[in-house]
A and B are shown apart, each in its own frame.
Chain A
Amino acid sequence: MASGDSLRERIDGALAGQSARTVTVLSSLLAIEDELGYIPPPAIEQVARHTGSTINDVWGVASFYTNFRFTPPGEHVVELCWGPTCHLLGAQQIIQAALQALGLSEEGDTSDGKISLKYNTCLGACSQGPVISVDHKVVGPQSLGITGGDAMSEHVAELVSRLRNGSS
C-alpha cells in the first residue's frame, strides 16, 4: 500500500486532473475512486478542502452511493448481477458457485485480498444474461462459448478460482 504522503499526492492529482467540467463533491469522489479503487480516510478531508464543503457533506455523499468503498479492493473485482433478467437465467446459482469457490458467505473480499466480490443490480447487458463483470469488463455465456446458466455457474467458479490463484 502507498505510504501516507504518496497517497495524499495521488488523491491531489486525481482531484486536480478530474475530467468533469463542473467539479463537485461527487465528481471529486468518483475521480478518487477511479484513481485508487476506494476512498481512503484522508480523501474525505481533501475533497472537503478542494470543493469548499464540510467533512460531513463529503462523508454524507460518499456513504450514500453504493459504489464507494473505504478499504482497498482486492486485486480483482468481480461483480455478479442479481437483476431480474439474470435472476431468471440462473444468476443465483452463479452467485452461489462463486461464493463457494471463494469460501465466502456473502459479497465481500477474500481474506488473502485477491478478490473483491460484489453484487450488482444491473450490468446493462441483459440481452447477454446471465452476466458478470471481471475487472469492469462484462462477460456473458456467449464469450465463454457456452449457453445457459448451469454451464455459466461452473465457468464462473473456475474463473474466480483461477483469478485468485493468480493465473488470469
Chain B
Amino acid sequence: MPTYEELLQEAQSRLLELEGGGKPWIRVGAAVCGEAAGASETLEAIRAELDRRGIDANVSIVGCLGLCYAEPLVDVQKPGGARVFYRNVTPDKAAELVESCVAGDDLRPDMALAYTGRITLDGIPRLDDLPVWNRQVRIALRNCGHIDPLDIYQYIAQGGYAALDKAVNQMQPEDVLKEVQDSGLRGRGGAAFPTGTKWGFLARSPGPVKYILCNCEEGDPGAYNDKGILESDPHSLIEGTILAGYATGSSNGVVFIRHGHEGPIHRTERAIEQAYELGLLGDNILGSDFSFHVEVSLTGESYVAGEETALMESVEGNRAMPRARPPFPAQSGVWGLPSNINNIKSLAYVSEIVSRGGEWFAGIGTEGSKGTAILCLSGNIALPGMVEVPMGMTIREVIDEVVGGVPDGRKAKFLQTGGPLGGVLPADLLDVQLDFAAMAQAGAILGSGGIIVADDRACAVNMTRVLVAFCQYESCGKCFPCRLGMTNLIEIVERICHFESRPGDLELMRVVGQNMAAGSLCGHGQLGWNPVQSAIRYFQEDFTAHMEEGRCPTGQCLSPVFTPQRTRSRWTSAQPLELRF
C-alpha cells in the first residue's frame, strides 16, 4: 500500500493536470439542492454542447457550496484563469455559457455570481467579498462545493488524510483524544454533549470490538447539512470516523443514513471503497498497526431512528424504538458492544482539529460553544442555503447580513430552529447568540442547525399544527405519555385551528405536555411539548384570536391542511375524545 507522501504526490499531480493541463475545467454543483434545481439536466446540456463543438474539457460534479439560491451553480476555470461561478444555470442557459465562457473569452459578468483566483477581474465580485461568504468560517464545510466527492484524490490534494497519517504514525490514541477534549467540541446532533468526554467513556470500555456510529438519519425538516456533507465531502466524515476509532480504540464504524437519499448513500459508499483501495481503511492503516472498518447501514423512514439507542436498534435491523438507559452505549451499544454515536457534523470537524490542534478550535466561538455553527436556512429568506459561521454571531446577523434578510419587504415573524422539537422563536429574540446556553435560555435549541424563517404572513397556530402533526406522526409508540400525549395535542391544536376550541384547552395541553416531559422514555416525547409551549408563550395573541374571537389573523387556518392519516384527529367524530385526569 502507498505511503501518505506517495498519495499526496499523486493527488497533487492529478490536481495540477486538472488545473493546468491546458483544458478548461467545468464544475457543476450536484448535491440534492442542485438536483432539485435541475443540475443533472444542466450537466447533460453542458456535455452535449461541448461535444457538439468538439471542445475537450474536464467536467466534474461537485457538492453543495451552500449558495443553494444560486443553483444550478456552475463554475468555469480556464488554464491560467480565474474560477468563475455562474448562478442559476438552467439547462437552457448551458449552451450560451459554453459558447461565451468556454469556447469564447467572454466571462459574462451578467451571468456570473463571483470568482476566486489570484488574478483580478472587472465587473465580477470576488467570492470572498460577497456578504453571504465573507462572514463564514468554513471548517467542516471546507471542501464542500470545491471538490468532486467521488474522487478521493481531490480530497487528499486539499490536505485530506494528513491528520490520519499524523495520528496513526506519530500520535498515541490518548493524544488524539486530548486534542478533541481540548477543542471543547460539543456534539452537533442536538444534545450538545462534549464529544471528547463521550469518546473518553468509550476509550475506557474493553475491546477489541467497539463501534463508532455516525448519525446521518437527519429527519429534522429544514436541516440538510449532514446529508450535504456526505454528498459534498464524504471523506471528511470517513477521516473523522477513523480518527474517532483510533482515539477510542475502536474497530468498526457504521455510517447510518436514511434509505432513499441516493446522493449521500452512493457517495459515502464510493468513498469507503476508495479509502479501502488506498489503504486508508482496513488492516494496518497507512502502514501503522491500527485497523479499522467502515460500512453503511440504511434505515427506513422513521424520525426517532435518529435517537441514539433507536439508531442501534435500527442498525441491528429492528424497529427503531429507543432503549432504556443505562446501560449506556459506551458500555453496551449496538450488538451489545461498546459504542459511540456521533453526528456527521461533529465528526467532520475532527480531522481539522487533529491537524491544527484543539486549542486552535477552542479559539473560535464563545466560552461555552466552541467552533462554528453549520446552519441550513430556508423558508421566507432571500438567499436560502447552508452556511458555517462562528458561534457567538447573533441570529439577526446571520439572517440580515449573511443570507440577505426576509424578501419582498416583509418582516420576520418567527423562526423554527433545531427541528420540530425545537419550537418557534419570535423575531424580537433574534439578537440571541448562536450559543447552546443562550439559545436554551431563549427557549429554543440550536439542534441540528436548521433555521426556518417565517414572515408576517405565517400564523403561529398553523405552524404549531404542522409541527405537532409531525411529532405525532413520528412518535415510535413505545411509551404511552408520548404516543397518547401527541395524539391529544394534535386533537386540541386542530380544534383551535378550526375555531372550535373548548374552555380550558390551553391548560389541558399544559397538563398533557408536562406528563409527556416527565414520563417519556426518549427526547422525542420529553421535548414533544416544546412546539406548543413556545408558540403559546410567544404568540398568545394568535391563540386568543383563534380561541376567543373565532378568527385566524393571517387567514392561513382557513385553508385545508393535508397531513398523513395517522396525524388526523378524531375530534370531528360524533363522540369527541374527552380527556380526564
Q: CB within 8 Å of B: which residues of A?
A: 19-22, 24-30, 33, 51, 57, 60-61, 64-68, 82-85, 87-89, 92-93, 95-96, 99, 106-107, 119, 121-129, 131, 136-140, 142-143, 145
Question: What is the bound-complex CA distance between A138 and B40, given in angstroms?
Answer: 11
B37-A119 in contact (CB<8A): no
Q: Which one of B180-188, B221-229, B279-287, B431-439 is at the interface?
A: B221-229
Among the 9-residue stretches B153-161, B234-242, B259-267, B496-504, the one with 4 or more Cβ atoms under 8 Å from chain A is: B259-267
CB<8 Å pairs between A and B, sample of 29: A20-B295, A20-B296, A24-B317, A24-B318, A26-B299, A27-B297, A28-B317, A30-B259, A33-B259, A60-B318, A82-B562, A84-B470, A85-B379, A87-B466, A88-B454, A122-B221, A124-B32, A125-B32, A125-B35, A125-B36, A126-B452, A127-B71, A127-B377, A137-B35, A138-B36, A140-B37, A142-B37, A143-B36, A143-B38
Measured between beta carbons, the chain B residues less than 8 angstroms from A61 are: 317-319
How far, in whole Å, are A82 and B385 apart by their CA atoms in the complex?
Answer: 19
Verify B378–A126 contact, CB threshold 8 A.
Answer: yes
Shortest B253–chain A CB gap in Å is 12
Please state if B302 and A64 are interface contacts (CB–CB under 8 Å). Answer: yes
Closest residue on chain B to residue A124 by CB atoms: B224
Whole-angstrom distance between the alpha carbons of A26 and B90 in the complex?
39
**B366-384 vs A, Cβ < 8 Å mask (1 yes, 0 no):** 0000000000111110001
- Which residues in window 300-343 of B have CB below 8 A to A? 300-303, 314-321
Closest CB pairs A-B (n = 10) = A24-B317, A65-B300, A83-B221, A143-B38, A127-B68, A122-B221, A126-B378, A142-B37, A127-B384, A125-B36
B517 → chain A closest CB, angstroms: 22
- Which residues from 233 to 281 on chain B have a C-beta closer than 8 Å to any C-beta of chain A? 259-262, 269
| B170 part of interface (Cβ distance < 8 Å) | no
Give chain B residues whose Cβ lies under 8 Å from the Cβ of A137: 35
Chain B residues near A67 (CB, 8 Å)?
259-260, 300-301
A85 proximity list for chain B (CB < 8 A): 221-222, 378-379, 452
B402 interfacial contact with A, CB 8 Å: no
**A82 and B222 contact, CB distance less than 8 A:** no
Contact A126–B297 (Cβ < 8 Å)? no
B260 touches A131 (CB 8 A): no
Tell me how far the C-beta of B210 lies from the nearest C-beta in chain A, rounded to whole angstroms.
16
User: Are B224 and A125 within 8 A (Cβ)?
Assistant: yes
Query: How far is A145 from B37 in the complex, measured between Cα atoms in Å?
Result: 9
Is the CB–CB distance between B221 and A127 below 8 Å?
no
Residues on A with C-beta less than 8 A from B565 are 106-107
Q: Output the residue of A27, A33, A99, A136 with the most chain B CB within 10 A.
A: A27
CB distance from A14 to the nearest CB of B (A): 14
Interface pair A30/B298, CB less than 8 Å apart: yes
Partner of A89, one of B296, B379, B560: B379
* B219 at interface by CB-CB < 8 Å: yes
Indicate which residue in A95, A127, A142 contacts B38 across the interface (CB closer than 8 Å).
A142
**A22-B297 contact in complex given A82-B466, A126-B384, C-beta closer than 8 Å:** yes
- Most-contacted residue by chain B among A106, A107, A128 (CB, 10 A): A128
Q: Of A26, A89, A126, A128, which contacts B300 at CB under 8 A? A: A26
Report the separation of the CA atoms of residues A155 and B574 in the bound assembly, to the nearest whole angstrom.
39
User: Once the chains are docked, how many angstroms separate the CA of A65 from the CA of B319?
Assistant: 8
Q: How far is the CA of A119 from the CA of B563 in the complex (A)?
A: 7
Which residues of the partner chain B approach A96 to less than 8 Å between Cβ atoms? Answer: 559-560, 562
Task: Give A139 to B32 CA distance when docked, in angstroms.
Answer: 10
Indicate if the CB atoms of B317 and A127 lie closer than 8 Å. no
Contact A25 B32 (CB under 8 A): no
Give bound CA distance, A117 to B481, whole Å: 32
- Of the candidates A26, A82, A92, A128, which one forms a contact with B317 in the assembled complex, judged by CB atoms under 8 Å apart? A26
